[in-house]
Amino acid sequence: MITRSVLIVEDEQNFIQTLEYALRNSPEHRYDMRHAQSAEEGLEIIGNGARFDVILLDYYLPGRNGGDFLKTIREAGDETPVICISVSQDYKIVQELMQSGADNYVAKEELNNSLALEKTISAVIEKRRYEKRIAELEIGSHRMDAIITIVRTVQHELNNPMAISQLALSRLADPGKLSQEEYRRAFDQVQEGIDRMAAILRLLPEFREELFNEKLQGLKIYSLPTKSPSP
């Protein structure tokens, strides 16, 4: 049986007991539960390093409300799925919570049985897993596009000096037709082409350098370095 960790941020002890009873009687999962009776207490638990599969959050709390709690953890980068629970059906409150990063909003009376609570928790966890998988696929696609771009860039950078060198070598194949100055110029062109290709090849191990790309909405991609590596 899979164990799920849950943080219940709720100040009504009777409702905490209702939620805990429903989860303890789940036929599919084992729930490891902790609870906090205020936003401050919940933030302290998370701030001390505790991690959860889902957070059940009441909106009306003593001191800071559930919206403040939600904004604080999201601004800190915590992406734990959050189900907001309240007796209120105020549209403005629901909108505020969803815009602040809530994964779902349900009224307390909708969670009178364990099946409804279990389905709600499973739905937000599976939604997050799906979104994470989609994001991974998109990143993989962007990185593949970046690699193809780099390969084409390197190919272009090598083609130019290679073409010049090949042309110069074809002239050197029949040195009798060249003046001393023309011979020296052709030889220099070959040498310059070799040096340029060598410089490009020395950059290849530095593909690990990553650069920020705003067009990919913050995604970092492998990019051809602009400076030669230190010897």
Contact 58, 85 (CB under 8 A): yes
Neighbours of 200 (CB within 10 A): 17
pTM equals: 0.61
Q: What is the pLDDT of residue 212?
A: 45
The residue length of the chain stands at 231
- 11-28 pLDDT tens trace: 999 989 888 888 888 888
Q: Where are the domains of the chain?
A: 2-112, 135-222
Residue 119 has pLDDT above 90, yes or no: no
Closest CA to 225 of 210, 160, 156: 210
> What is the rounded CA–CA span in Å between residue 33 and residue 23?
9
What's the CATH code, domain 135-222?
A: 1.10.287
In Å, how far from its chain's centre is CA 71? Answer: 19
Task: Sort strands 82-86 and 220-222 into parallel, antiparallel or unpaired.
Answer: unpaired
Please, which pLDDT band fits residue 86 given cuts at 50, 70 and 90?
confident
In this prediction, residue 200 carries a pLDDT of: 79
Fold of 2-112: Rossmann fold (3.40.50)
Kindly indicate the confidence band of residue 207, based on its pLDDT and cuts at 50, 70 and 90.
low
Is residue 70 over pLDDT 90? yes
What is the arithmetic mean of pLDDT over 139-167? 80
